[in-house]
């Protein structure tokens, strides 16, 4: 429709398009650029205002009216001293008329100096604080460390292990469901038995004419109860009674009613028992046939392995107690290094944890865990034998 056309009745006139090259046409053509420019300017102004606010200098805090407090007084409780001004007396009102009108000289009074308040004394009802007293640790008596180690190796198996003592239980002992734990506990028991025999026969008596200590003697008898006894008497129950007797023996040592002698010949007797026990264990680990000529069964391989591990576990703890109880004797004979080597070998044996104990050939691909265990057991036996010879020399 042209501008000259007249609209028909009932129709609105059509809008005319903007003339080409006009301002509106230019704005519509570049509207996206203009909108982007406006957004950029707006964001830039926000950043500029924020920067000015952030860089403005913070107001200075008002001067505090709290002054330094004397020693022992909190600063918040000391008021600020009022400022004193010099006093100038005013002229008298009833001055006579004949007096000279000379101005009287002002009298300046000096500002009095206020001495700081003395620190407040503590109330009389509050007692003075006493300095902390540090109590030094009690030194164990002779024989206490050794006996405590003997109690510990048995207590760990009877009271600290899941399901307690296994060899005499109906489910785990008689059926052999946990034969590995059973044999480990039997190895620990064997070390405890040989140790308590030496303790009863030698270390609690100065000579063969001295009487046995009744508590240690009774504990030795209780440890000799068969480990698979379930009832009449119970093995675990008797072992607990033996530990109670040893606790009473420690009480006697503290009270001076019992004795413990750390002599070199008694230490040699203890090491001799340990050497025999290690030698028997070493033989079971390296043998290929049983006494009847049969090949070692795969069902007995793990029994020998864990029995030797129980011996290593208990003997390592007992030898660590020996280093403390027989320190002077070992120092005189220069045997500390040998004892540390034996303990190191026993600790290494007690930390072997194979998933399955196998009995492979010595030169085969499959592991022979008995041979691995025998390495550390044999080393410990050799070191203990050497130490016995060194202790026996003058």
**Domain locations in the chain?**
139-260, 262-394
Q: 40-54, 131-145, 322-336: which has the minimum mean pLDDT?
A: 40-54
Integer distance in angstroms from the first to the last C-alpha of the chain?
Answer: 137
Total length of the chain: 394
Distance of alpha carbon 228 from the chain centroid? 38
**Mean pLDDT, range 183-205, rounded to an integer:** 97
Question: 203 Cβ partners below 8 Å, 6+ apart?
Answer: 143, 146, 260, 261, 262, 266, 270
Helical spans, DSSP H, in the chain? 23-29, 31-55, 144-158, 179-198, 214-223, 235-255, 264-286, 298-325, 327-333, 336-350, 369-392
The three-state secondary structure class of 289 is: strand
Gap between the Cα atoms of 193 and 311, Å rounded: 11
Q: Tokens at residue 190, please? A: 């064997």
Gap between the Cα atoms of 166 and 239, Å rounded: 13
Asked if pLDDT for residue 219 goes beyond 70, the answer is: yes
pLDDT of residue 76: 43
Q: What is the DSSP code (8-state) at residue 201?
A: I
- Determine contact, residues 156/163, Cβ cutoff 8 Å: no
The model's confidence at residue 94, banded by pLDDT at 50, 70 and 90, is: very low
Is pTM beyond 0.85 here? no
């Amino acid at each position: 429709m042209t501008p000259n056309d007249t609209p028909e009745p009932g129709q609105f006139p059509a809008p005319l398009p903007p003339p080409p090259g006009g301002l509106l046409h230019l704005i519509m053509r570049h509207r996206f650029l203009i909108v982007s420019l406006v957004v950029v300017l707006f964001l830039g102004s926000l950043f500029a205002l924020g920067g000015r606010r952030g860089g403005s200098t913070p107001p200075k805090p008002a001067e505090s009216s709290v002054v330094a407090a004397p020693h022992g007084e909190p600063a918040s409780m000391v008021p600020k001293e009022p400022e004193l001004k010099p006093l100038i007396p005013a002229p008298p009102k009833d001055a006579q008329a004949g007096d000279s009108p000379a101005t009287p000289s002002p009298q300046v009074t000096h500002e009095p100096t206020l001495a700081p308040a003395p620190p407040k004394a503590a109330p009389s009802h509050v007692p003075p604080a006493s300095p902390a007293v540090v109590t030094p640790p009690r030194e164990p008596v002779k024989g206490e460390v050794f006996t405590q180690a003997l109690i510990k190796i048995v207590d760990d198996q009877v009271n600290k292990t899941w399901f307690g003592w296994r060899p005499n239980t109906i489910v785990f002992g008689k059926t052999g469901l946990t034969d590995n734990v059973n044999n480990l506990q039997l190895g620990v028991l064997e070390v405890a038995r040989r140790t308590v025999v030496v303790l009863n026969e030698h270390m609690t008596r100065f000579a063969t004419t001295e009487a046995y200590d009744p508590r240690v003697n009774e504990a030795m008898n209780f440890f000799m109860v068969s480990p698979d006894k379930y009832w009449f008497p119970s093995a675990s129950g008797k072992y607990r009674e033996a530990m109670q007797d040893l606790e009473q023996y420690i009480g006697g040592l503290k009270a001076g009613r019992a004795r413990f002698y750390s002599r070199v010949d008694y230490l040699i007797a203890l090491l001799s028992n340990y050497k025999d026990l290690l030698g028997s264990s070493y033989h079971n680990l390296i043998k290929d046939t049983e006494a009847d000529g049969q090949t070692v069964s795969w069902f007995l391989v793990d029994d020998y392995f864990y029995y030797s591990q129980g011996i290593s576990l208990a003997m390592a703890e007992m030898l660590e107690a020996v280093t403390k109880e027989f320190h002077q004797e070992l120092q005189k004979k220069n045997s500390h290094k040998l004892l540390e080597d034996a303990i190191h070998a026993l600790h290494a044996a007690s930390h072997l944890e194979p998933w399955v104990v196998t009995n492979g050939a010595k030169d085969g691909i499959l592991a022979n865990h008995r041979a691995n265990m025998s390495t550390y057991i044999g080393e410990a036996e050799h070191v203990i034998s050497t130490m016995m010879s060194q202790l026996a020399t003058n």
